[in-house]
Amino acid sequence: MTEPACLQATIHGLVQGVFFRAFVARWAGELGLSGYVRNLPDGVVEVRAEGKRQDLEKLVGYLKMGPSAARVDEVVTTWSEYTGNYRGFSIRH
C-alpha cells in the first residue's frame, strides 16, 4: 500500500468560504503529498494529490471531515497512476 498513486477528489456540500482549501493544504503538507486544491465555479472543491497510496487514503479521511465550519455531503474519488507532475502542494485560485 506504499506505492505512489494519484488521487482526484471532488468535495460537495458547504465547502467554499469555510477555509476548506487551507485545511486541505495543511493536511497534504503534513502527509508529504504534492498537488493542488481549488474551488470550482459550481461550489465544489477539487483536489488532485499525489504521493503514497496510504497517505492519500488518510487525506480522503480528512476530506470527509472537513474543517469545523464546513458541511461535507459527499466526496467522490478517482484513482490513477502517479505522474510526478507536481512539486509541493498549492492552493489554486
Q: Is 85 in the active site?
A: no
Q: Is 21 in the active site?
A: yes
b/e sequence 21-41, b meaning 16+ C-beta within 10 Å = bebbbebbeebebbbbbebee
* Catalytic annotation, pick one of 21, 48, 53, 85: 21
* Catalytic annotation, pick one of 26, 38, 39, 53: 39
Helices (H) and strands (E) in the chain, counts: 2, 5
Residues taking part in catalysis: 21, 39
